[in-house]
Structure 1
């Protein structure tokens, strides 16, 4: 990608070059003060103060004819005066410079020797402190010549900027019209601006990038991105930004179509400042990106339904024999003839008020599906990922030598990110490893069971493997919750009270005793109790529960009751 950013693109998509044949970086929507001093009418003008402000932009010019000029001053204005309105109050000139600078004046040009013989030293010092250029104009030049030539230069420059803006827009639009997508658009935008460019979803997941590969990697490790690679959209509003802990500067522009927030386009620059002209290019690119996103959504909607219907048939065992399943999956770009686990991910019930913004977001299930698809296929492009109405199903390959839990937890970490950007909590279930496509229906049921039981065991955001569920698999299949609650009360008696701290403490003691197979010495060590203290507690527990130390059937019932209490969603 670094080479594409420097090479000339194909002729059909060629961007308009500047007069010197170089790629454009940014355009100035007016004349700088330095350039304005080079026009013929300003020949002989001398800079008295404010050298550091010579880069200020001049977009208009005016003449100071009245003392109360301040209400009429506009930003980026070159103000000319003979000093006539101020001839009787020269002591007020330093304060005038301060007020003019506060109103965004570009520069002040003064003619002397007619009404003012000299400018006060305090005025010159104040202009120098503020960086507002203070110009001494030649006596022979007419203000009308300066006005005419400055305004002509400004209009010519602005016309050129508008023309180049249209040319850039046309070049970017051609990317999509000729079959390119977000990656090609990001690369082209990077070539225009000469900086790294990212295209992200509304919550900051990177969809495409353009620019030098080393630069792109370096920016991903700045605080603007979280550890999962998500751009922190919640901290980055639109416009140009500079952060103390992020090198250079960056500009952010939302990608919006039909009041729907589709994402962000972000430009990072290390060695130059980004300005309004760069933002204008990004806005053009964002408009084209919205077109590309809508185009991709239309294609995905059709392809997604077809892929989803077929995978649903595979997981239901209705897709045909093994050979047909493998062949059809290959036609869809999926490789299922290898060791995989089925991962089922479901959004957790939403808690708390929903975020209120001025824009609509794409449906949450659709965004959730896109997130899983981008993360899984970035790791393995031949992996099958499909979003259903209430869940996302992924057939995740597990290469030899890798642990299933490590692979799945890394995928979950990347999808979840740091939880910012409006991301919703979700729970995931993982099947056993299967190496035969004909066993995918069984693996799918295992993953579905794991996500349900995992959420009951551990609450929202759980990741549960089917093999880790143990007896919870059986308990979760009991649909009569009232029967489970009755079993807990009848077995644990007073220990079933969940709002009693003393009973909760005794339940914990009971669990440790059962987990250590009634090894009193080991249980006392884990509980940090004296041996005799634990013996006293055992006596107390047997008065409440019965002789569990000598009755194995009672111990089994107590262990099951404690597991039922551990399950969520019984109340």
Structure 2
């Protein structure tokens, strides 16, 4: 929507210079805003007109061609002119009915100008009235800006800023913020049923866009309670990232240029406030990162330094600690956000979960992951509380946050000296998410044989075992385009049931027998022998670790 401040067609018709003029068509556009006035010297004027102009002309300039007149009026409407003033007499008796019907159908105002009133006596008073109104609007906007700046300077709240918006727009207003996460509804003055319709319309904005928003102002006409209602939606953008929107509906008064300006001022003011909160958050997060890295360091001096901050986080040396790592990837549903802003948003919500469950811990945002360090006293039911936290986090990601993610959970171990160990276990669990390929979260306690296979200390021995068993099978598949590794994996998945293997692989029973024989010949290991079967099964598990 272009910013058009001025007076309405209705205001123009009430002016003394228009006393003997009258509107003859397009009554539905009587609230159109006139921001300036122009005179038509020839039909090419439409190449130079601007939105919001009231165009003055004579019937002589329009000729007697009805089709031309209709085409011209349609073009004026498409150019978003506010209306057309025509001196019909003495050039023609009246406009054709089809022209009047067209103007009515598109709500484009046509004013029959009194023939004896000079254009100059129309233009000058209108421009003067527009100037006066714009001066008043500028003063009002200055007051709005000053009010919002005073709120910020005095350490006021976002709620106070929205109150200023509501008082000036005089229409329902809803604020939705991602960070800090909150919704503020100012719906006084409308019936309860209408409130519910507005809330639904607000929610549908997010549902229809599926979380993908352009960094632009949205204006639309919505169907509310059987009526067409104008709606404005202003984004709140900080560091090229959308942090929320301000909504308003024209339920009480029309929404115009002044209202757009108020929303813009509010959006900018809130962006400043959010930027301040983000700066504080970044400083706090930097301190947490340093604290965590000191805790996990092998340097005794750094660990002693971290111990000095224990009281800040309500930790003690004898507590139990559990390290959790959340790896995130940008999802198409959050395409407007960058990874860092996602982390800030998610860190904030994860801290709210800790508070809700009365858990003591730290949430640290990094570039592509979030670290969580949970702290428990010795007498707590640690396993149950970790599972409750895990379920809350999964519910958050699966129902609310549209991000691809994986979570690794280390064991809960006693003492500061074991925090690094729990951290490494969480890292191994993260790697196992891709290996297991059937879940988004893995607890180190549930890794089974992968605890050994993900052990960095025996990495060389594990690689040697893989090379001496099925690496040759991998190479053979690549060179010959065979599927022997897939066949071997299916053998163990089907517990050696050859008939079931045949069904899963859509392959003849005899072909399965042939492939197992070829696997024996290539690897020198026979699935019929217990020790060989164990080696092949373990080699496949190692292959999962290596390939991921």
Secondary structure of 1:234 counterpart? coil
2:262 is matched with which residue? 281
Give 1:59-74 correspondences, 5 Å limit: 59-66=35-42, 69-74=45-50
Name the counterpart of 1:373.
347
Does the C-alpha gap of structure 1 residues 111 and 281 become closer, same or farther in structure 2, counting only changes over 3 Å?
same
**Other-structure match for 2:312:** 328
Measured in 1, the distance between the counterparts of 2:147 and 2:215 equals 27
RMSD across aligned positions (CA): 4.6
Correspondence 1:40 to 2:16: yes
Are the counterparts in 1 of residues 525 and 536 from structure 2 also a CA contact under 8 Å?
A: no
Structure 2 counterpart of 1:407:
392
TM-score normalised by L of structure 1: 0.72
- Quote the offset at 1:255 in angstroms: 2.1
Report the equivalent of 1:449: 428
Q: For 1:73 and 1:548, how far apart are their aligned partners in 2? A: 84
Kept in 1, the 8 Å contact 2:491–2:501? The answer is no
Count of aligned residue pairs for this structure pair: 510
Mapped to 2, the partners of 1:536 and 1:62 lie a distance apart of 89
Q: Would the aligned equivalents of 2:410 and 2:423 in 1 still touch at CA under 8 Å?
A: yes
Q: Is the alpha carbon distance of 1:177 and 1:505 closer, same or farther for their aligned partners in structure 2, counting shifts above 3 Å?
A: same
Alpha-carbon separation, structure 1, partners of 2:374 and 2:59: 78
Mapped pair 1:345 → 2:320: no
Relative to its length, the structure with more helix (as a share) is: 2
Q: Which runs of 5+ in 1 are unaligned?
A: 1-26, 420-424
Match for residue 411 of structure 2?
Answer: 432
Other-structure match for 2:192: none
1:301 aligns with 2:282: yes
Deviations 1:248-302 (A, max 9, x none): 745233525xxx4143441234564755444322321232233223322332333
Q: Matched residues in 1 for 2:370 and 2:386: separation?
A: 26
Question: Kindly tell me: are residues 122 and 246 of structure 1, through their superposed partners in 2, closer, same or farther at Cα, counting changes over 3 Å?
Answer: closer
**Which of residues 167, 170, 174 is equivalent to 2:143?**
167
2:204 counterpart SS class? coil
How is 1:505-520 mapped onto 2 (pairs within 5 angstroms)? 505-512=486-493, 516=495
Paired position in structure 2 for 1:107: 83
Rounded to whole Å, the distance in 2 between the matches of 1:547 and 1:267 is 69
Residue 151 (1) aligns with residue 127 (2): yes
- Alignment of 1:418 onto 2:402: yes
Please show how residues 31-430 of structure 1 align to structure 2 within 5 Å: 31-66=7-42, 69-85=45-61, 92-138=68-114, 141-180=117-156, 182=158, 185=161, 189=165, 192-193=168-169, 194-200=172-178, 207-212=181-186, 218=200, 221-222=203-204, 224-225=206-207, 232=210, 234-242=212-220, 249-253=231-235, 255-256=237-238, 260-269=239-248, 272=251, 275-314=256-295, 327-330=311-314, 341-346=322-327, 364=339, 366-381=340-355, 383-388=361-366, 391-395=369-373, 403=388, 405-413=390-398, 417-419=401-403, 427-430=406-409
Q: How does 1:4-23 map to 2 (within 5 A)?
A: none
In structure 1, distance between residues paired with 2:32 and 2:88: 24
Secondary structure, counterpart of 1:124 in structure 2: helix
Give the CA deviation at 1:563: 0.3
How far has the Cα of 1:75 moved from its partner? 2.8
* Gap runs ≥5 in structure 2: 188-194, 376-381
CA distance in 2, matches of 1:197, 1:550: 69
Question: Does the CA contact (< 8 Å) of 1:493 and 1:545 recur in 2?
Answer: no
Query: Residue 451 and residue 221 in structure 1: after superposition, are their counterparts in 2 closer, same or farther (change >3 A)?
Result: same
